Every structure is written in structure tokens, then in C-alpha cells.
């Protein structure tokens, strides 16, 4: 039995992970489940999976959960805060860690898993976007294995030769092609984008995701962050990572080789496929996903992204090319801007404007240790909030 911690178990990735795990009770054992403030959701998950530990990032929520356990006579140890998350990410009884906490909040516990040499199923973008050099170094030193969960990076991983870590040129890879649906606004004009509402931005045509990630998909910042991730995961430069709009979301990404071959991974848009792949790798297990019917799909379309419509994608390329702390600044500013948009504070088209102002206002410096990166993250968030306040 493989011991597993799920960081962010009540989010969309966490729920899908537990769905796959429940299909293989003889293979996986849930040691710990964690959430931020969703007491009801974590309580129900704990009743079903009976982990040894339950962690709430919010201390007040942890107290509520402990009271619920006591009333239901459930004996599960409740921990809280970053310390609790770090603890369950590095337990000796845990072999696999699903890193699915959204945002920079997932960085610290994911780093703990890397240092402890765990097999990390990486769904948290920020571990690489904010602290790519640090995270990859800690993973190498700790002997951790990183398996990407984003559908795009998982697809690239499946299409790569086994020895890709030697360097893409050495193994005959010329380019990584990250596909993107283009979100719900792929065909809107810039004027039409100005009136977009949060509910419209969260109505993704193909994927069922949380609200923050859905907005990132609509602005294509999600794809920009994935470009940054790909550079770290596959040890490549930004000019070798190309974004291709593919509205059907059937081809999840491709790898081009120097001999002219292009390998693609196809499947229905369901996160349980990459989750099952990473959980069982190098084997294959059932995920519960409906088989792909190419006759039902009918056609596959591709087009180049419009950087004027998707300014966030341009900013992400700028940040990774700048290097240093620029990606951390980009990510922090985006999180603040998206949160403000979802609360009605700024317009959809103001999201990239805020991000660009923060990138221009805070100089990028060499990315150092965790404390320095967290300080840059905090500075960028404060700057972004000030920029938003000045617009009100």
C-alpha cells in the first residue's frame, strides 16, 4: 500500500485525486488530507478515507474541524497552519504527495516534500513559477521525483524520451508545443472583453476548474505560467516552448523532434487522466475517464495566440526571459489582480494592466533562498493592491 498525502484535497484537483484513489483501494492509503477553510468538505472526505491526519491551513477552521470530529467520535489528528502542512508533506509513512494547493500558499509544503525525497505529483504551479531554481535544486538534493499533473506538462512528459533530463537537444527534441483552449473569450474583441463578468470568466468551455484557475485560463495567464513551468520541468529555454490554441482540448500537448516527428497525447478533458498516470507511473491504471471517441470529436483546430488579446501570456514570456524574481513578481501581482476582479474591484481587461505596472515598478533581482522569494512575493502583492486602490 502506497501512503499518500493530498495537499489541497477539497479543491478540484484534490477531489479528482481522491476519485481515482477510491477506484484502487488495494493500491493506495490516504495518510493525510489538507484544506484551507473548507471544514465541511474536509470532514466528509475524512469520513470516507479515514486518514491519520487532517490539516486546516486556517487555525480557526482547524478548531471547528476538531469539534466536528469529537462530536462524530472520529479519531483523526487535526493539525493547522503551515507547520501542519509541512509535517504531513514529509512524513516517513508518506511516499507520494499530491501538491494541489492553489497559489503561493502551496510553495512551502511542496518544498518540504521535495526535501524529504517524496514522489511529488505536482499540480501547484507556484512551486516552479515563484521558486523554480530553488525547488529543482531541493528536489535533486533530496532525491525527490517530480511527476507533472497539469494536463499539458503531463502530456509533454508522456511524449518525451525517458532520458530527456540529459538535455532536449541531446535527445533529439526541438520544441515543446503547449496547447491551450483559449478559454471562453478566444473570439471576443478587445472592446467586448472590457465588459466580461466574473461568472462569464469562470465558465470554461471544456474544463471544470476552480474560479481563480478559470480566470487565469480566460486571460491565458494560466498558459503563461505553464510556459515558465515547462522551462524548469524540462530544462529548456522559453524560445523552445510554443503555445498553440486548440479549442477542442483533445490534444493536451505535443513534442516536436529534430527528425520532423511530432508526438501528441490525446484524451478527453478530464484531470483524472494525468492524475492516474502520475499515481501509477510507469504503469497504467483505470482513471474512470470516458474513452476518447475521435469520430465524436470530428475535427481538431489550431491557431496562433493573439498577444494583444492575451496580454498576460506576453507578460509571462517577458518574465521568464527576464529571469530572477520576475516570475515571482508576475505570479503575486496576478493573484491579487484576479482576486480583485472576482470581487468586482477591477475590470477583466485591467488584470494585465495591474500586472504590467507591478513588473515595471519592482526590479527583478537574482532569485535566492525561500525567505527572499517570500519577501518579494509580499512586496509585489502590496504593490499590486496599491495599484488597484489607485484605480478606484
Q: What is the DSSP string of 89-130?
A: HS-TT--EEEE---SGGGHHHHHHHHHTT-EEEE--THHHHT
3-class secondary structure, 148: strand
pLDDT band at 43 (very low <50, low <70, confident <90, very high): very high
Banded pLDDT at 208 (limits 50, 70, 90): low
Query: Across residues 274-284, what is the average pLDDT?
Result: 97
Q: How confident is the model at residue 135 (pLDDT cuts 50, 70, 90)?
A: very high
Structural domains in the chain, sorted by start: 2-148 (3.40.50.720), 150-311 (no CATH), 323-392 (1.10.1740.10)
Task: Give the pLDDT score at 199.
Answer: 80
CA dist., res. 358 & res. 61, Å (int): 33
Residue keyed to cell 479549442: 247
Is residue 368 scored above 90 in pLDDT?
no
79 forms bridges with which residues in the sheet?
Answer: 55
245 vs 168: CA distance, rounded Å: 23
Q: Quote the CA–CA distance of 218 and 199 in Å, as a whole number.
A: 11
pLDDT, averaged across the chain: 93
DSSP string, 339-371: HHHHTTSS-TTHHHHHHHHHHHHS------SHH
φ/ψ region of 330 (left if φ > 0, alpha if ψ in -120 to 50, else beta) reads alpha
pLDDT at 364 over 90: yes
| Confidence tier at 200 by pLDDT (50, 70, 90) | confident
Residue 121 has pLDDT above 70, yes or no: yes
pLDDT at 201 over 90: no
Separation of first and last alpha carbons in the chain? 55
The pairing of strands 96-99 and 77-80 is unpaired
Summarize the confidence of residues 165-182 as an average pLDDT: 92
Q: Which residues contact residue 154 at a Cβ distance below 8 angstroms, ignoring those fewer than 6 apart?
A: 147, 148, 252, 265, 273, 274, 277, 278
Would the pLDDT of 205 be above 70? no
pLDDT one-digit tens code per residue, 289-318: 999 999 999 999 999 998 988 999 999 999
**What's the rounded Cα separation, in Å, for the pair 237 and 344?**
37
For residue 165, what pLDDT is reported?
A: 84
What average pLDDT score do residues 69-89 get?
Answer: 96
Question: pTM score > 0.85 for this model?
Answer: yes
Amino acid at each position: 500500500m502506497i501512503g499518500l498525502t493530498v495537499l489541497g484535497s477539497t479543491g478540484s484537483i484534490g477531489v479528482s485525486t481522491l476519485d481515482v484513489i477510491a477506484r484502487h483501494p488495494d493500491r493506495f492509503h490516504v495518510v493525510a488530507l489538507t484544506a484551507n477553510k473548507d471544514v465541511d468538505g474536509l470532514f466528509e472526505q475524512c469520513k470516507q478515507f479515514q486518514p491519520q491526519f487532517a490539516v486546516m491551513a486556517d487555525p480557526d477552521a482547524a478548531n471547528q474541524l476538531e469539534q466536528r470530529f469529537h462530536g462524530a467520535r472520529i479519531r483523526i489528528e487535526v493539525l493547522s497552519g503551515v507547520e501542519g502542512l509541512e509535517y504531513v508533506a514529509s512524513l516517513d509513512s508518506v511516499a507520494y504527495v499530491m501538491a494541489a494547493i492553489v497559489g503561493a500558499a502551496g510553495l512551502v509544503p511542496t518544498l518540504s516534500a521535495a526535501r524529504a525525497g517524496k514522489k511529488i505529483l505536482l499540480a501547484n504551479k507556484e512551486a516552479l513559477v515563484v521558486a523554480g531554481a530553488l525547488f529543482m535544486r531541493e528536489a535533486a538534493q533530496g532525491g525527490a521525483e517530480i511527476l507533472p499533473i497539469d494536463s499539458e506538462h503531463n502530456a509533454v512528459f508522456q511524449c518525451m524520451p525517458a532520458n530527456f533530463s540529459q538535455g532536449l537537444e541531446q535527445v533529439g527534441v526541438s520544441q515543446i508545443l503547449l496547447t491551450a483552449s483559449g478559454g471562453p473569450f478566444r473570439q471576443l474583441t478587445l472592446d467586448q472583453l472590457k465588459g466580461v463578468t466574473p461568472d462569464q470568466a469562470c465558465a470554461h468551455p471544456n474544463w471544470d476548474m476552480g474560479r481563480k484557475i478559470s480566470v487565469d485560463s480566460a486571460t491565458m495567464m494560466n498558459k503563461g505560467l505553464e510556459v515558465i513551468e515547462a522551462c524548469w520541468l524540462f530544462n529548456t529555454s522559453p524560445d523552445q516552448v510554443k503555445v498553440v490554441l486548440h479549442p477542442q482540448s483533445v490534444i493536451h500537448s505535443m513534442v516536436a523532434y529534430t527528425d520532423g516527428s511530432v508526438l501528441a497525447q490525446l484524451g478527453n478533458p478530464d484531470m483524472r487522466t494525468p492524475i492516474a498516470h502520475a499515481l501509477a507511473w510507469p504503469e497504467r491504471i483505470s482513471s474512470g475517464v470516458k474513452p476518447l471517441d475521435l469520430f465524436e470529436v470530428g475535427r481538431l483546430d489550431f491557431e496562433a495566440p493573439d498577444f494583444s488579446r492575451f496580454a498576460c501570456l506576453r507578460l509571462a514570456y517577458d518574465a521568464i526571459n527576464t529571469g530572477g524574481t520576475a516570475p515571482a513578481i508576475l505570479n503575486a501581482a496576478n493573484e491579487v489582480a484576479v482576486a480583485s476582479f472576482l470581487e468586482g474591484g477591477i475590470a477583466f481587461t485591467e488584470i494585465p494592466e495591474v500586472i504590467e505596472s507591478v513588473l515595471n515598478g519592482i526590479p527583478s533581482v537574482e532569485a535566492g533562498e525561500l525567505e527572499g522569494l517570500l519577501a518579494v512575493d509580499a512586496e509585489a502583492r502590496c504593490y499590486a493592491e496599491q495599484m488597484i486602490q489607485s484605480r478606484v
